[in-house]
Structure 1
């Protein structure tokens, strides 16, 4: 059995990832709440490549969503399949609430941008490790 931990990062990665989960959920008969409502046993075949089965028969994407600011995460959460993700798999920081503007600014010192990335890396690595551990347990 092969299991995938899906990492989506940044605004573009999270927007593409959100659409990916809509499509893959539809293919497997998973509704926006994570419940299977498919019409074929074939849809459940290898479903645990992408999903963990949670209590109550719900399927949760094995995904980690990362960004430097929470705006994209809020957009994913309010999207059609936003409630299917584990809330603790959203990893972001919001320095001064202006991260996106400062990120590309010529006045942004490189040491500051590196420190933001380092701040983001540890929780991302811990979340990925937790997801990989749960994937190998099943």
Structure 2
């Protein structure tokens, strides 16, 4: 889920002319329209995704942070536990997530 989410944010950032750190480098004023649907404007004219990334283990979050758009997110928007479900939906639903 978070890897798909990271790909989504990379795509939508490119469509709005944002680089991996959230700075606008676009070529058209149209890219700035409706920016607030997906992003909040932070300090230093940097745009930050309106997102909270949640998982049972930190591994996927580390992969997102290490990716090309990892600096786009606020550090406090990553919420994770320390025990994963080993890619087992039932364990995550009935044991770890219960």
Task: State whether TM-score is above 0.5.
Answer: yes
Instruction: State the distance in 2 between where 1:63 and 1:81 align.
Output: 13
1:90 corresponds to 2:74: no
Paired positions, count: 96
Instruction: State the distance in 2 between where 1:83 and 1:33 align.
Output: 5
Aligned to 1:122: none
Instruction: State the distance in 2 between where 1:79 and 1:24 align.
Output: 15
CA offset digits 1:93-125 (Å, max 9, x no partner): 013xxx233x73x9x7x86x1xx325xxxxxxx
The alignment partner of 2:97 has SS state of helix
CA RMSD of aligned residues (A): 1.9
**Unaligned stretches of 5+ residues in structure 1:** 1-12, 119-138
Deviating 4+ runs (over 4 angstroms): none
TM-score when scaled to structure 1?
0.64
Instruction: State the distance in 2 between where 1:22 and 1:71 align.
Output: 19
Deviation at 1:58, TM superposition (A): 0.2
1:100 corresponds to 2:80: no
The alignment partner of 1:60 has SS state of strand
**Unaligned stretches of 5+ residues in structure 2:** none
Which of these residues, 28, 31, 38, is aligned with residue 43 of structure 1?
31
**How do 1:1-138 and structure 2 match up within 5 A?**
13-95=1-83, 99-101=84-86, 104=88, 113=95, 116-117=96-97
Instruction: Specify which structure has the higher proportion of helix.
Output: 1
TM-score when scaled to structure 2?
0.89
